[in-house]
């Protein structure tokens, strides 16, 4: 019954997919690249209430819709079929669902948002909001991230410049690329600050392969504890320190020869990006280089509270366009030396993470729960689609603090932040 009704309404979807329904009916391609299972009328309730990626995410997270096959293609097809074209499609679908009887109507009315959604906080203090957002995303448990990321434990874009590279080798290639751009001689005479150090892999790699002394700072308590334990059991325990702190509150008695910021700009946001680069400029020596690695998008994009990315993945996150990042660096007194796009490598990185999850899906479900595991699958697939289409990119901006340049004092910066 449902198959016949859908066939005339979503022809684009059915050319490449098969769709099955809770009543047993099936329609679509006989040789699909994607199989879509609509397991409950609640799927239409979620799509009606939020005819966007958030509605689709809710339907998938609750198990009302299941996707099988190439998840990147599946997400693209379902999103396109649901949200493009006649705005009356969803209303028709809901009407058909209601015709099935009182039980289906009850499911439509009572479909509640998943409990794992991030609830928007009313806390105005920026530091407390950042801590809550970081905790929501990164404190899923280190065992989960070991499965997702593999031995490299690096949660940023790898660099697959050679065919056949493993994820671990591609992450090493990214770390070596960053190290080369810093332009420092090998040996303990160089001191590096790694802002947003994650689980410590870049810090350990820099100390192990280049002999540098590294201070890593992270706002995540679980990351800091894990990274500190890794450092203690590594041959470079005397060269690396991991600090659990907010970079805006971090203090150092000496300046650093270079500063890396990998995946941090997204958490800082546009409103504070100038202060962030001022903080970096304050911490680096004259003549020292700064490497900022960030996901970017043309025009910038603040994650709105009604989007799936905000509710499930990066609360309070914000992508900043490349020109704005460069402007922030220049306003802080830094001189930009060069920019490199490496976003094309994020698609294979994301696909490797998806493969890691799929190989251990039962364990992942047990660790973080079935609903949250579905969130991660959707997030990784949707992100791969956006990088593949060029909506998202990754840029490394390399800058230097000129010799003799006068940088605003931290006390003046603190006064400025107090006014904003």
Between 41 and 190, the higher pLDDT residue: 190
Question: What integer pLDDT is reported at residue 416 of this predicted model?
Answer: 44
Quick: pLDDT tens for 356-407. Answer: 999 999 999 999 999 889 888 888 888 888 898 888 999 999 999 998 644 4
pTM score, whole prediction:
0.82
Between 16 and 202, the higher pLDDT residue: 202
Question: What integer pLDDT is reported at residue 56 of this predicted model?
Answer: 79
Quick: pLDDT tens for 238-291. Answer: 999 999 999 999 999 999 999 999 999 988 988 899 999 999 999 999 999 999
- Which range (77-86, 112-121, 348-357) has the least confidence? 77-86
Between 88 and 78, the higher pLDDT residue: 78
Is the pLDDT reported for residue 89 higher than 80?
Answer: no
User: Topology of domain 126-419, per CATH?
Assistant: Rossmann fold (3.40.50)
Q: What is the residue-averaged pLDDT of the chain?
A: 82
Is the pLDDT reported for residue 191 higher than 60?
Answer: yes
Between 43 and 143, the higher pLDDT residue: 143
Quick: pLDDT tens for 209-241. Answer: 999 999 999 998 889 999 999 999 999 999 999
Question: What integer pLDDT is reported at residue 415 of this predicted model?
Answer: 41
Q: What percent of the chain has pLDDT over 70?
A: 73
Quick: pLDDT tens for 92-138. Answer: 555 555 544 444 555 555 667 777 776 655 555 555 555 555 555 55
Spell out the domain ranges in the chain: 2-110, 126-419
Same fold for the pair 2-110 and 126-419: no
- Which range (3-7, 76-80, 348-352, 393-397) has the least confidence? 3-7
Does CATH number 3.40.50 belong to domain 2-110? no
Question: What integer pLDDT is reported at residue 72 of this predicted model?
Answer: 76
Between 232 and 31, the higher pLDDT residue: 232
Is the pLDDT reported for residue 412 higher than 50?
Answer: no
Is the pLDDT reported for residue 300 higher than 80?
Answer: no
CB atoms within 10 A of CB 254: 8
* Helices 322-331, 273-283: inter-axial angle, 10-degree rounding: 50
Is the pLDDT reported for residue 409 higher than 50?
Answer: no
Is the pLDDT reported for residue 88 higher than 60?
Answer: no
Is the pLDDT reported for residue 156 higher than 70?
Answer: yes
Quick: pLDDT tens for 303-333. Answer: 555 566 666 776 666 889 999 999 999 999 9
Question: What integer pLDDT is reported at residue 406 of this predicted model?
Answer: 43
Q: What average pLDDT does this structure show over 173-197?
A: 96
Question: What integer pLDDT is reported at residue 256 of this predicted model?
Answer: 98
């Amino acid at each position: 019954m449902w198959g016949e009704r859908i066939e005339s309404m979503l022809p684009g979807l059915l050319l490449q997919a098969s769709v099955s329904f809770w009543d047993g009916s099936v329609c679509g391609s006989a040789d699909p690249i994607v199989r879509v299972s609509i397991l409950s009328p609640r799927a239409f309730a979620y799509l009606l209430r939020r005819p966007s990626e958030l509605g689709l995410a809710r339907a998938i997270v609750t198990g009302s819709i299941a996707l099988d096959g190439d998840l990147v293609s599946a997400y693209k097809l379902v999103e396109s079929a649901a949200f493009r074209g006649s705005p009356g499609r969803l209303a028709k679908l809901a009407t058909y669902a209601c015709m099935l009887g009182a039980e289906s109507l009850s499911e439509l009315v009572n479909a509640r948002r998943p409990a794992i959604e991030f609830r928007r906080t009313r806390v105005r203090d920026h530091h407390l909001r950042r801590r809550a957002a970081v905790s929501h995303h990164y404190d899923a448990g280190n065992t989960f991230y070991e499965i997702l990321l593999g031995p490299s434990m690096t949660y940023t874009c790898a660099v697959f410049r050679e065919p056949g590279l493993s994820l671990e080798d591609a992450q090493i290639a990214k770390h070596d690329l960053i190290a080369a751009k810093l332009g420092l001689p090998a040996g303990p005479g160089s001191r590096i600050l790694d802002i947003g150090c994650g689980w410590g892999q870049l810090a350990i790699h820099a100390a192990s392969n280049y002999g540098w002394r590294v201070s890593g700072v992270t706002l995540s308590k679980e990351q800091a504890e894990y990274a500190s334990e890794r450092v203690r059991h590594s041959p470079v325990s005397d060269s690396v320190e991991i600090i659990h702190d907010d970079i805006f509150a971090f203090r150092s008695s000496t300046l650093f020869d270079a500063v890396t910021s990998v995946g941090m700009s997204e958490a800082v946001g546009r409103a504070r990006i100038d202060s962030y680069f001022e903080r970096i400029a304050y911490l680096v020596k004259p003549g020292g280089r700064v490497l900022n690695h960030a996901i970017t998008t043309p025009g910038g994009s603040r994650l709105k509270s009604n989007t799936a990315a905000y509710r499930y993945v990066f609360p309070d996150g914000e992508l900043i366009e490349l020109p704005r990042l460069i402007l922030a660096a220049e306003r802080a007194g830094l001189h930009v030396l060069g920019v490199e796009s490496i976003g094309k490598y994020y698609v294979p990185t994301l696909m490797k993470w998806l493969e890691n999850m799929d190989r251990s899906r039962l364990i992942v479900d047990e660790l973080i729960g079935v609903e949250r595991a579905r969130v991660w699958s959707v997030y990784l697939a949707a992100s791969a689609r956006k990088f593949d289409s060029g909506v998202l990119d990754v840029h490394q901006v390399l800058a230097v603090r000129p010799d003799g340049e006068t940088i605003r004092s931290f006390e003046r910066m603190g006064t400025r932040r107090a006014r904003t």
